[in-house]
Structure 1
Protein backbone atom coordinates (compact mmCIF):
# COMPACT_ATOMS: atom_id res chain seq x y z
CA UNK A 1 0.00 0.00 0.00
CA UNK A 2 2.86 2.34 0.84
CA UNK A 3 4.50 1.68 -2.55
CA UNK A 4 1.28 2.53 -4.37
CA UNK A 5 0.99 5.76 -2.41
CA UNK A 6 4.61 6.67 -3.12
CA UNK A 7 4.19 5.85 -6.81
CA UNK A 8 1.08 8.05 -6.94
CA UNK A 9 2.86 10.91 -5.19
CA UNK A 10 5.87 10.57 -7.49
CA UNK A 11 3.71 10.51 -10.61
CA UNK A 12 1.68 13.48 -9.41
CA UNK A 13 4.80 15.47 -8.59
CA UNK A 14 6.30 14.64 -11.98
CA UNK A 15 3.16 15.80 -13.73
CA UNK A 16 3.16 19.07 -11.79
CA UNK A 17 6.84 19.73 -12.47
CA UNK A 18 6.44 18.80 -16.14
CA UNK A 19 3.46 21.10 -16.53
CA UNK A 20 5.34 23.90 -14.79
CA UNK A 21 8.32 23.47 -17.12
CA UNK A 22 6.02 23.40 -20.15
CA UNK A 23 4.13 26.45 -18.94
CA UNK A 24 7.41 28.26 -18.30
CA UNK A 25 8.63 27.56 -21.83
CA UNK A 26 5.24 28.49 -23.32
CA UNK A 27 4.95 31.65 -21.24
CA UNK A 28 8.36 32.86 -22.34
CA UNK A 29 7.51 32.08 -25.96
CA UNK A 30 10.83 30.38 -26.61
CA UNK A 31 9.56 28.05 -29.34
CA UNK A 32 7.77 30.74 -31.38
CA UNK A 33 10.72 33.09 -30.99
CA UNK A 34 13.22 30.48 -32.20
CA UNK A 35 10.88 29.66 -35.10
CA UNK A 36 10.61 33.35 -35.94
CA UNK A 37 14.39 33.81 -35.89
CA UNK A 38 14.98 30.71 -38.03
CA UNK A 39 12.07 31.64 -40.38
CA UNK A 40 10.30 28.32 -39.78
CA UNK A 41 6.99 29.52 -38.33
CA UNK A 42 5.04 26.76 -40.09
CA UNK A 43 6.97 24.13 -38.10
CA UNK A 44 5.90 25.34 -34.61
CA UNK A 45 3.53 22.37 -33.98
CA UNK A 46 6.38 19.99 -34.87
CA UNK A 47 8.74 21.81 -32.50
CA UNK A 48 6.18 21.58 -29.70
CA UNK A 49 5.67 17.83 -30.19
CA UNK A 50 9.41 17.23 -30.30
CA UNK A 51 9.79 19.19 -27.06
CA UNK A 52 7.00 17.23 -25.36
CA UNK A 53 8.26 13.84 -26.52
CA UNK A 54 11.88 14.56 -25.67
CA UNK A 55 11.02 15.83 -22.17
CA UNK A 56 8.93 12.73 -21.55
CA UNK A 57 11.53 10.37 -22.96
CA UNK A 58 14.41 11.85 -20.97
CA UNK A 59 12.32 11.85 -17.78
CA UNK A 60 11.84 8.11 -18.14
CA UNK A 61 15.51 7.62 -19.00
CA UNK A 62 16.61 9.70 -16.01
CA UNK A 63 14.62 7.61 -13.54
CA UNK A 64 15.53 4.25 -15.04
CA UNK A 65 18.77 2.31 -15.08
CA UNK A 66 19.13 2.91 -18.81
CA UNK A 67 22.52 4.17 -19.91
CA UNK A 68 23.98 5.18 -23.22
CA UNK A 69 27.22 3.22 -23.55
CA UNK A 70 28.96 5.69 -25.83
CA UNK A 71 32.61 5.44 -26.70
CA UNK A 72 34.79 8.50 -26.29
CA UNK A 73 34.32 9.81 -29.84
CA UNK A 74 30.56 9.43 -29.88
CA UNK A 75 30.49 11.16 -26.49
CA UNK A 76 32.31 14.13 -27.99
CA UNK A 77 29.80 14.39 -30.83
CA UNK A 78 26.77 14.01 -28.56
CA UNK A 79 28.32 16.45 -26.09
CA UNK A 80 28.66 19.02 -28.85
CA UNK A 81 25.03 18.55 -29.84
CA UNK A 82 23.77 18.70 -26.25
CA UNK A 83 26.00 21.68 -25.52
CA UNK A 84 24.73 23.45 -28.61
CA UNK A 85 21.14 22.80 -27.55
CA UNK A 86 21.71 24.03 -24.02
CA UNK A 87 23.60 27.05 -25.32
CA UNK A 88 20.83 27.91 -27.78
CA UNK A 89 18.18 27.40 -25.13
CA UNK A 90 20.04 29.57 -22.62
CA UNK A 91 20.64 32.22 -25.27
CA UNK A 92 16.97 32.19 -26.29
CA UNK A 93 15.92 32.45 -22.66
CA UNK A 94 18.34 35.30 -22.11
CA UNK A 95 17.08 37.04 -25.24
CA UNK A 96 13.45 36.67 -24.23
CA UNK A 97 14.18 38.06 -20.80
CA UNK A 98 16.51 40.75 -22.22
CA UNK A 99 19.17 39.70 -19.75
CA UNK A 100 22.20 40.46 -21.90
CA UNK A 101 21.23 44.04 -22.93
CA UNK A 102 20.19 44.97 -19.40
CA UNK A 103 23.30 43.39 -17.89
CA UNK A 104 25.61 45.03 -20.41
CA UNK A 105 24.09 48.48 -19.80
CA UNK A 106 24.23 48.09 -16.02
CA UNK A 107 27.84 46.93 -16.10
CA UNK A 108 28.74 49.39 -18.89
CA UNK A 109 30.19 46.69 -21.15
CA UNK A 110 28.04 47.17 -24.27
CA UNK A 111 31.02 46.94 -26.63
CA UNK A 112 31.84 43.47 -25.26
CA UNK A 113 28.44 41.85 -25.97
CA UNK A 114 29.78 39.51 -28.71
CA UNK A 115 32.45 38.24 -26.32
CA UNK A 116 29.83 37.77 -23.61
CA UNK A 117 27.64 35.67 -25.94
CA UNK A 118 30.60 33.60 -27.14
CA UNK A 119 31.75 32.98 -23.57
CA UNK A 120 28.25 31.80 -22.59
CA UNK A 121 28.21 29.45 -25.56
CA UNK A 122 31.69 28.07 -24.88
CA UNK A 123 30.88 27.64 -21.18
CA UNK A 124 27.77 25.63 -21.94
CA UNK A 125 29.54 23.44 -24.51
CA UNK A 126 32.52 22.79 -22.24
CA UNK A 127 30.26 21.96 -19.29
CA UNK A 128 28.32 19.54 -21.45
CA UNK A 129 31.53 17.90 -22.65
CA UNK A 130 32.77 17.66 -19.07
CA UNK A 131 29.52 16.03 -18.06
CA UNK A 132 29.51 13.50 -20.90
CA UNK A 133 33.21 12.68 -21.02
CA UNK A 134 34.14 12.71 -17.35
CA UNK A 135 31.12 12.45 -15.09
CA UNK A 136 29.00 10.01 -17.14
CA UNK A 137 31.93 7.66 -17.75
CA UNK A 138 32.38 7.20 -13.96
CA UNK A 139 28.78 6.19 -13.30
Structure 2
Protein backbone atom coordinates (compact mmCIF):
# COMPACT_ATOMS: atom_id res chain seq x y z
CA UNK A 1 0.00 0.00 0.00
CA UNK A 2 2.76 2.46 0.92
CA UNK A 3 4.60 1.69 -2.33
CA UNK A 4 1.54 2.62 -4.37
CA UNK A 5 1.17 5.91 -2.52
CA UNK A 6 4.84 6.79 -2.96
CA UNK A 7 4.65 5.89 -6.64
CA UNK A 8 1.55 8.09 -7.05
CA UNK A 9 3.32 10.98 -5.31
CA UNK A 10 6.38 10.52 -7.54
CA UNK A 11 4.30 10.40 -10.74
CA UNK A 12 2.26 13.43 -9.67
CA UNK A 13 5.33 15.51 -8.88
CA UNK A 14 7.07 14.43 -12.09
CA UNK A 15 4.00 15.31 -14.15
CA UNK A 16 3.65 18.66 -12.43
CA UNK A 17 7.29 19.50 -13.01
CA UNK A 18 7.02 18.53 -16.67
CA UNK A 19 3.93 20.66 -17.22
CA UNK A 20 5.39 23.58 -15.28
CA UNK A 21 8.66 23.41 -17.21
CA UNK A 22 6.74 23.35 -20.49
CA UNK A 23 4.67 26.36 -19.46
CA UNK A 24 7.73 28.35 -18.42
CA UNK A 25 9.50 27.37 -21.65
CA UNK A 26 6.47 28.51 -23.62
CA UNK A 27 6.38 31.89 -21.92
CA UNK A 28 10.15 32.38 -22.05
CA UNK A 29 10.97 31.23 -25.58
CA UNK A 30 8.04 32.90 -27.25
CA UNK A 31 8.43 36.02 -25.08
CA UNK A 32 4.70 36.17 -24.47
CA UNK A 33 4.70 38.67 -21.60
CA UNK A 34 7.13 41.23 -23.10
CA UNK A 35 5.33 41.02 -26.45
CA UNK A 36 1.96 41.53 -24.75
CA UNK A 37 3.21 44.60 -22.90
CA UNK A 38 4.73 45.94 -26.11
CA UNK A 39 1.47 45.56 -28.03
CA UNK A 40 -0.59 47.22 -25.32
CA UNK A 41 2.03 49.91 -24.59
CA UNK A 42 2.05 49.04 -20.89
CA UNK A 43 5.73 48.18 -20.32
CA UNK A 44 5.64 49.75 -16.85
CA UNK A 45 3.01 47.21 -15.78
CA UNK A 46 4.95 44.06 -16.70
CA UNK A 47 5.06 42.95 -13.05
CA UNK A 48 1.26 42.98 -12.94
CA UNK A 49 1.13 40.75 -16.02
CA UNK A 50 3.57 38.31 -14.44
CA UNK A 51 1.65 38.28 -11.18
CA UNK A 52 -1.64 37.72 -13.01
CA UNK A 53 -0.17 34.71 -14.81
CA UNK A 54 1.24 33.25 -11.58
CA UNK A 55 -2.08 33.75 -9.76
CA UNK A 56 -4.00 32.28 -12.70
CA UNK A 57 -1.79 29.19 -12.78
CA UNK A 58 -2.02 28.71 -9.01
CA UNK A 59 -5.80 29.19 -9.02
CA UNK A 60 -6.24 26.86 -11.98
CA UNK A 61 -4.02 24.23 -10.37
CA UNK A 62 -5.87 24.46 -7.07
CA UNK A 63 -9.28 24.24 -8.77
CA UNK A 64 -8.04 21.28 -10.79
CA UNK A 65 -7.32 19.38 -7.58
CA UNK A 66 -10.78 20.04 -6.12
CA UNK A 67 -13.73 17.74 -6.59
CA UNK A 68 -16.02 20.25 -8.28
CA UNK A 69 -19.30 19.09 -9.80
CA UNK A 70 -20.82 21.38 -12.42
CA UNK A 71 -23.85 19.21 -13.20
CA UNK A 72 -23.47 19.41 -16.99
CA UNK A 73 -24.69 16.83 -19.44
CA UNK A 74 -22.05 14.38 -20.64
CA UNK A 75 -23.03 15.13 -24.22
CA UNK A 76 -22.27 18.81 -23.62
CA UNK A 77 -18.83 17.97 -22.24
CA UNK A 78 -17.75 15.97 -25.32
CA UNK A 79 -17.21 18.99 -27.61
CA UNK A 80 -15.58 20.91 -24.75
CA UNK A 81 -13.14 18.08 -24.13
CA UNK A 82 -12.46 17.73 -27.85
CA UNK A 83 -11.76 21.45 -28.22
CA UNK A 84 -9.55 21.39 -25.12
CA UNK A 85 -7.55 18.45 -26.46
CA UNK A 86 -7.12 20.08 -29.86
CA UNK A 87 -5.99 23.33 -28.23
CA UNK A 88 -3.45 21.62 -25.97
CA UNK A 89 -2.12 19.46 -28.80
CA UNK A 90 -1.72 22.39 -31.16
CA UNK A 91 -0.08 24.47 -28.42
CA UNK A 92 2.45 21.71 -27.73
CA UNK A 93 3.08 21.27 -31.46
CA UNK A 94 3.61 25.01 -31.91
CA UNK A 95 6.08 25.12 -29.04
CA UNK A 96 8.10 22.20 -30.37
CA UNK A 97 8.03 23.69 -33.86
CA UNK A 98 9.31 27.04 -32.59
CA UNK A 99 12.13 25.28 -30.79
CA UNK A 100 12.91 23.20 -33.91
CA UNK A 101 12.79 20.04 -31.82
CA UNK A 102 11.77 17.67 -34.61
CA UNK A 103 14.51 18.64 -37.08
CA UNK A 104 17.15 18.44 -34.34
CA UNK A 105 15.94 15.03 -33.14
CA UNK A 106 15.73 13.64 -36.65
CA UNK A 107 19.23 14.90 -37.45
CA UNK A 108 20.68 13.42 -34.25
CA UNK A 109 19.21 9.96 -34.81
CA UNK A 110 19.83 10.03 -38.55
CA UNK A 111 16.30 9.96 -39.99
CA UNK A 112 16.13 13.41 -41.61
CA UNK A 113 14.31 12.13 -44.70
CA UNK A 114 11.72 10.34 -42.54
CA UNK A 115 10.67 13.19 -40.26
CA UNK A 116 7.01 12.61 -41.20
CA UNK A 117 7.22 9.15 -39.64
CA UNK A 118 8.64 10.67 -36.45
CA UNK A 119 5.80 13.18 -36.20
CA UNK A 120 3.17 10.53 -36.94
CA UNK A 121 4.67 8.24 -34.27
CA UNK A 122 4.31 11.05 -31.73
CA UNK A 123 0.73 11.78 -32.85
CA UNK A 124 -0.35 8.13 -32.69
CA UNK A 125 1.38 7.74 -29.32
CA UNK A 126 -0.58 10.69 -27.95
CA UNK A 127 -3.82 9.26 -29.35
CA UNK A 128 -3.12 5.81 -27.88
CA UNK A 129 -2.27 7.34 -24.49
CA UNK A 130 -5.43 9.45 -24.47
CA UNK A 131 -7.62 6.51 -25.46
CA UNK A 132 -6.01 4.33 -22.78
CA UNK A 133 -6.68 7.00 -20.16
CA UNK A 134 -10.30 7.44 -21.22
CA UNK A 135 -11.05 3.74 -21.53
CA UNK A 136 -9.25 2.69 -18.34
CA UNK A 137 -9.66 5.59 -15.91
CA UNK A 138 -12.84 7.50 -16.87
CA UNK A 139 -16.22 6.21 -15.76
CA UNK A 140 -18.87 7.33 -18.22
TM-score normalised to the size of structure 1?
0.51
- Within the candidate set 86, 107, 125, 1:123 is matched to 125
Give the alignment of 1:47-126 within 5 angstroms: 52=53, 55=57, 58-67=60-69, 77-126=79-128
Q: Which position in structure 1 is the counterpart of 2:46?
A: none
TM-score normalised to the size of structure 2?
0.50
The superposition leaves residues 3-32 of structure 1 with CA deviations (integer Å, 9 ceiling, x where unpaired) of: xxxxxxxxxxxxxx8997754321121869
The superposition leaves residues 40-77 of structure 1 with CA deviations (integer Å, 9 ceiling, x where unpaired) of: xx8xxxxx9xxx59746642332211156777766664
Q: CA RMSD in A?
A: 4.2
Aligned partners of 1:20 and 1:111: how far apart in 2?
Answer: 30
Contact 1:76–1:133 (Cα < 8 Å) also in 2: no
Contact 1:30–1:92 (Cα < 8 Å) also in 2: no
- 1:65 aligned counterpart, secondary structure: coil
- How many residues are matched? 111
Q: Which structure has more RCO (C-alpha within 8 Å, separation ≥ 6)?
A: 1
